[in-house]
Chains A and B, each alone.
Chain A
Amino acid sequence: MDEKIPFWRDDRVLKIIGQVIAVVVFVTVMLILGSNIARNFQSLGITFGFGFLRRAASFGIGDTPIPYTPSDSYGRAVLVGLVNSLRVMILGIILATVVGIAVGVARLSDNWLLKQIAGIYVELFRNTPLLLQLFCWYFAVFLNLPGDLENPPRLPGPIFLTQRGVDMPWPDGTLQTWLSVAFLLISAVLAFIIWRRRTTAMVQRGESGRSLQMILIGIGVLALLALIFGLQWDRPNLSEGAITDGLNLSPEFGAVLFGLIFYTAAFIAEVVRAGIQSVTKGQWEAARALGLRPTLAMRLVIFPQALRVMIPPLTSEYLNLAKNSSLAIAVGYADVYATSFTTSNQTGRTIEMILILMATYLTINLIISLGMNTFNRSVQMKER
């Protein structure tokens, strides 16, 4: 390096200078904005702090999955909202996946009519705003259910559909219920293990799997009995213009849940379809040539390969569902966004509540991403 490069043409120096400038500018902008906030606050006589979260909220919340009274603190109110959000997100993700897979498979069905219906559904729900769909679900569907409780529509169960929401049987929270739930969980895990072993036995050793199938059926019967009798269902009763007992799901909850499910399912259906289509036809043919039945070929050959393609876009759909649940505020469902918004309004603590909201949503997103990434790693090809 005899020939000296002037520093303004030296890459390494330039890079460092550029980055230092970037940091300086970033910090300066942040400082200016911060001081603006501080000055604005000072002139309005507002102080910054999270102490207000301990004060009594004194506003009511419609859906309270965990005990809450207006004398509880703002913090508790936000927590109720968070539980409400998680309720919608978890149920939404599970159900949207089920509906989405069903529709995605239907779009590839041999049946022309079914294929067309699935196609129309997907196009219609993907190409209209979710907010509009929420309004439709709430005002045009749920609030149009019969309002008088004399003779509401009754589905078997009994499940009642009224303007007050959906009333359905729900397990009583006794010891027996919890024992049954534990039993159901154990039998589900057991059944899964046996099912995996049966599949391996059938594929690798060419066994019939009849004996293991009998065990599976036995577990199923036991689980069904536990489900029906063990859980101690608390059925809703219709008496004198009021529905008592059972579980009441408010129309607000219903509107948000249905809106999210059917909107997201349309996207998931496309992910599923693209995933299955991404598996080449040769795989199908090879699987059939090996003598696998179509269902087995789908389960053992096609679906695992499709899953690898599907998981990344599926993750982003789940993230979208979680974020979209914040639209609940439009139909009066008290999710974390709505309760934080009310709190910020009652207390004037906009910045604090925005920080809490940001932290909440980023955490939820992180959890979903981490979960899906772990899942993704487990299904990716294990090569070499």
Chain B
Amino acid sequence: MTTTNPEPSVIAAPPITQISPGAWVKKNLFSDWFNTILTIVCLGAIAWLGYGLLTWIFTQAQWQVVPANLRLFFVGRYPAPLMWRPWTALGIIAVSAGLTWGILARSTWLFNRTGLIFLGVLAVLFVALSVPVSLNTSLLLLAILGLSVAAAFAGQQIGQRFPTLVSWLALGWLGIFFIVFGLIRGGLFLREVRLDDLSGLLLTLLTAIVSIVLSFPIGILLALGRQSNLPVVRWMSIGFIEIIRGLPLITILFMSSLLVPLILPPNVRIDRVVRAIAGLTLFSAAYLAENVRGGLQSIPRGQSEAAKALGLSAPLVTVLIILPQALKAVIPTIVGQFISLFKDTSLLAIIGFAELLGISQSILSNPNFLGRYQEVYAFDTVIYFCCCYAMALASRRLEKQLRTENR
């Protein structure tokens, strides 16, 4: 429901000067009396919170609810015999991610320190999973991780040979999106899985990704429509954007789940997952339109004038000159938009979907796990946080990269 604007990163780090730890502590923690008091208060707060948290994690919390329902959390009620499909999808995504990483980092070191630490943490986590879950799961995850790393090396080689590949990455990911979607959903020669059977984190990811992909073209059209000099188009776009942005997401989801069927002819039934995605898409498109408009406005008039002077027709000016620059300028905002959409999918729990939060609630209503709110919500928090924070970090890196490219 909110737009996360990834923070602008620090432009240039100051030169690093070696100072002794003592001096550092004195400078940063105890420089004057006010600072000293602050430090002491903070230390007290950290000690109190940390002690409470650690005692809770290690002595009071009853964690068995998490491993017992791990499958429900992640894939929900996805049919058990078809579990190979989410696994394959995960494998495809991991390999593609590895390839992308390799291609992007073709001219630098593949693994810097952060990358290695990240990989190490993942590996340790996967190994640790073998205790509460099963050895097979753990081995499978490690194998996927290994594949991903191998793909990264391969990607680096390929990238060095065909440097132009970089510009096709986005298209490649779009293709992968369709492949993965088709794999999970079924169809063609695979048995179809009912959309209703999708739940857990799988549903969260599905609704978030499909909505953002769909909202992208609609949002751009709306932004262009709002800038258009045709009054009807402009007013319709403004009306749509402002009404949607003025309403809480829950009202829009409520409408999509209850009102849309009333409006449609009697014989047309739209799957409720599709309706929810439509609601999220329209919501996110209105916000995206405003972000893109910001980008469009940031392009100096000279650009379109120069393009027109070169003899480009108006649509071409927009598509070839204005839009690419505008979109590039707002990529970080769009990532922020995606993060908030990802969080907002949790509202689907209110209208009765079993996405991550919804399935958590139904796990909590299971007599065996009654009252395990803190554990379940803590686990949800970790999942949501990891996903969102990873995206936020990626967006910051991207922003830094874009800014240096612009110089």
Contact = CB atoms under 8 A, between A and B. Distances in A.
Q: Are chains A and B touching directly in their complex (CB below 8 angstroms)?
A: yes
A93 to B, nearest CB: 14
Given A140-B374, A316-B2, A337-B251, 18 more contacts: A26-B236, A36-B263, A117-B42, A117-B45, A123-B392, A132-B357, A267-B4, A270-B7, A274-B7, A317-B2, A323-B249, A324-B248, A327-B350, A329-B250, A337-B248, A351-B262, A361-B246, A362-B243
Contacts of A126: 4, 388, 392
Top 3 A-B residue pairs of the complex, sorted by shortest distance between their CB atoms:
A127-B388, A112-B28, A129-B346
Contact of A267 (B2, B232, B346): B2
Contact of B255 (A135, A317, A354): A354
Interface string B252-270: 0011001100111110000
A204 interface: no
A129 B373 contact: no
Contacts of A341: 254
A277 B45 CA distance: 27
A131 B254 contact: no
Interface stretch (B101-109, B303-311, B321-329, B378-386): B378-386
A113 B42 contact: yes
Interface string A341-367: 100000000110010011001100110
Contacts of A37: 262-263
A234 B266 CA distance: 59
Interface stretch (A14-22, A163-171, A235-243): A14-22
A128 interface: yes
B251 A358 contact: yes
A317 B28 CA distance: 32
A255 B42 CA distance: 25
Interface in A195-225: none
A66 interface: no
A358 B388 contact: no
Contacts of B251: 326, 337, 354, 357-358, 361
6 contacts: A23-B232, A127-B385, A267-B4, A329-B350, A351-B262, A358-B247
Given A126-B4, A320-B2, A18 B230 contact: yes
B67 interface: no
A113 B29 contact: yes
A337 B253 CA distance: 13
Interface in B208-238: 230-233, 236
A270 B5 CA distance: 9
B20 to A, nearest CB: 15
B1 interface: yes
A313 interface: yes
B46 to A, nearest CB: 7
A114 interface: yes
Interface stretch (B31-39, B70-78, B139-147): B31-39
Given A139-B373, A324-B1, A337 B45 contact: no
Given A127-B384, A267-B2, A337-B250, A273 B233 contact: no
Q: Which of A15, A127, A274 has the most CB of B within 10 A?
A: A127
A136 B377 CA distance: 7
Nearest to A22: B232
Contacts, number: 160
Nearest to B381: A128
B266 A40 contact: yes
B8 interface: yes
Interface string B355-388: 0010000000000000001100100110011001
B275 interface: no
A33 interface: yes
A330 interface: yes
Interface string B264-301: 11100000000000000000000000000000000000
A12 B339 CA distance: 42
Interface string A110-149: 1111100100000110111111100110011000000000
Interface in A267-326: 267, 270, 273-274, 277, 313, 316-317, 319-320, 323-326
A111 B344 contact: no
Given A111-B28, A362-B246, A19 B232 contact: yes
A39 B3 CA distance: 39
Given A110-B28, A111-B35, A313 B377 contact: no
A135 B384 contact: no
B54 interface: no
A131 B388 contact: no
B31 A110 contact: yes
B119 interface: no
A140 B377 contact: yes
B251 to A, nearest CB: 6
B176 interface: no
B229 to A, nearest CB: 8
B38 A19 contact: no
A109 interface: yes
A305 to B, nearest CB: 17
A370 B373 CA distance: 41
Given A22-B236, A140-B374, A323 B262 contact: no
A358 B2 CA distance: 18
B343 A130 contact: yes
Given A129-B344, A131-B357, A337-B251, A36 B265 contact: yes
A254 B308 CA distance: 59
A105 to B, nearest CB: 12
Nearest to B28: A112
